Amino acid sequence: MKSFRLSEVKTCLVLGGGDIGMALARVIKKRNPNTEIIITKRKIEYVSPKEREKFVLYPHDPLSEESWSSLSNTIKSNFGHLDLVISTYGILHDNELSPEKKIEDIALSGLVKAFQVNTFTAPLAVKHLLKLMPRESLSTFVFLSAKVGSISDNSTGGWYAYRSSKASLNMMVKNMAIEFKNRKKNALAVAIHPGTTATELSRPYLSNFNLKVWEPNQTAEHILRVIDGLKPDNNGDFLNWDGTIIPY
């Protein structure tokens, strides 16, 4: 049974050039210098000149269908196809949203923002990028999820917007996997929990939990170790950073 191999990836798209996204791009490039790596960011001017020489950077609004269409068309024109898409899009807090401790803390604007970023960007990515995946070789969509999005693993409650939007992301991934199989697409869709990582997203809450915290480069290594060697049987799986299955 054919496995997905990072060494065979010619073109990779990293959606979201934050801490984990940039770390993933750096590790892939270090391993495979000939791999073309495309990174999307809302504002590419914050990327260093050295990084701009290594990677192809596109400004992108993940909540705009027009932006998705433009991204897809540009990649098709410049690269022809994609072998691997890794979406790092996610939000836990901003000026409209913070993790809720009780039901009274919920704000509609926060719920909408969480689902827009954590859930809706995934089907938009596949809608516009699936046509760029080659038919002759196994390609993969990877979506960074979160263990707190596991319904069966939830024993503490709270974090309504984040938990529920990540659980919805997992359902989207499962749906994609079923559709890929039904349409005989030579593609996988998997969700991966990256582990607790010291990023802008998580840093304000790290002191609240007695958890092992990884640096972004360590998390990138873990994620790529899981991706390398994925098999068709993994289609639709929700995987932990160490490769074990997380129940939905």
- pLDDT tens track for 101-117: 999 999 999 999 999 99
pTM listed for this prediction? 0.95
pLDDT at 213: 86
Residue 106 CA from chain centroid, whole number: 25
Number of neighbours of residue 202 by Cβ within 10 angstroms: 18
Q: Contact 187/214 with Cβ under 8 angstroms? A: no
Nearest Cα neighbor of 78 from 13, 150, 139, 125 is: 13
Distance CA 195, CA 224 (A): 13
Amino acid at 193: H
Q: Contact 248/150 with Cβ under 8 angstroms? A: yes
pLDDT, tens only, 161-219: 999 999 999 999 999 999 999 999 999 999 999 998 888 766 666 666 667 888 999 99
Nearest Cα neighbor of 159 from 83, 106, 80 is: 106
Mean pLDDT, residues 46-73: 93
Query: What b/e readout covers 213-222, taking b as 16+ CB neighbours within 10 angstroms?
Result: ebebbbbbbb
Mean pLDDT, residues 5-25: 96
Distance CA 82, CA 75 (A): 8
**Fold assignment, 6-239:** Rossmann fold (3.40.50)
Tokens at 74, concatenated:
């540009």
Residues in the chain: 248
Distance CA 95, CA 223 (A): 29
Is a pLDDT exceeding 90 seen at residue 94?
A: no
Among 108-117, 145-154, 191-200, 223-232, the least confident range:
191-200
pLDDT at 207: 61
pLDDT at 95: 81
Share above pLDDT 70 across residues of the chain, in percent, rounded to a whole number: 96
Nearest Cα neighbor of 129 from 52, 187, 169, 203 is: 187
